[in-house]
Amino acid sequence: MIRLITALASALLLSGCFFFGGGGGGASYKGYVQRAGMFLSSTDVDNSCISPKLRSVIGSFERKFGKKIVVNSGYRDPIRNIIGGGEDSSYHMRCMAVDFFIPGVSKGQLVAFAMRNEQVGGLGCYPGRGFIHVDVRDRPRGWKKPVTFSGC
């Protein structure tokens, strides 16, 4: 029985579908939705489809700043993408992009880390908004920094 419980616990932890709290889960996250180990800015945010490579990027931000991200926009189906004003080829529709912020971490710090992060393929900065966009597209050959858009 102990082996079964250990195996199930290990599977949940490895899947990323279980969250123990801690690591930034304190009062600064009050009011955010929590689903599948992630904090979301509202119940409308869909984090059901996040590629393994994007999960790795998210993890790199969380490790760097010692806090969990809060997702503003994750997966978008084509209708939601049109309503949200997304591009026809949006990486959000491919499970390869997320818009997020980290409470208590400045947008400038997030942008600076994203620019140095080799896993980030695209970076959107959105002037006047409190979040950034990161995606895991392939960088053009020879590029040392992410493809940037929207005010970066």
Q: pLDDT tens, 129-151? A: 999 999 999 999 999 999 999 88
Range of the domain at 34: 20-149
Indicate the number of domains in the chain. 1
Inside any domain, residue 15: no
Residue 39 maps to a domain: yes
In this predicted structure, what is the pLDDT of residue 9? 40
Tell me whether residue 7 is in a domain: no
CATH number at residue 109: 3.30.1380
CA distance 21 to 112: 27
82-112, pLDDT tens digit by residue?
Answer: 988 888 999 999 999 999 999 999 999 999 9
The answer as to whether 131 is a domain residue is yes
In a domain, 96, yes or no: yes
* Edge-to-edge order in the sheet of strand 97-101: 33-35, 38-40, 70-73, 97-101, 132-135, 122-124, 147-149
What predicted TM-score, i.e. pTM, was given to this entire model? 0.80
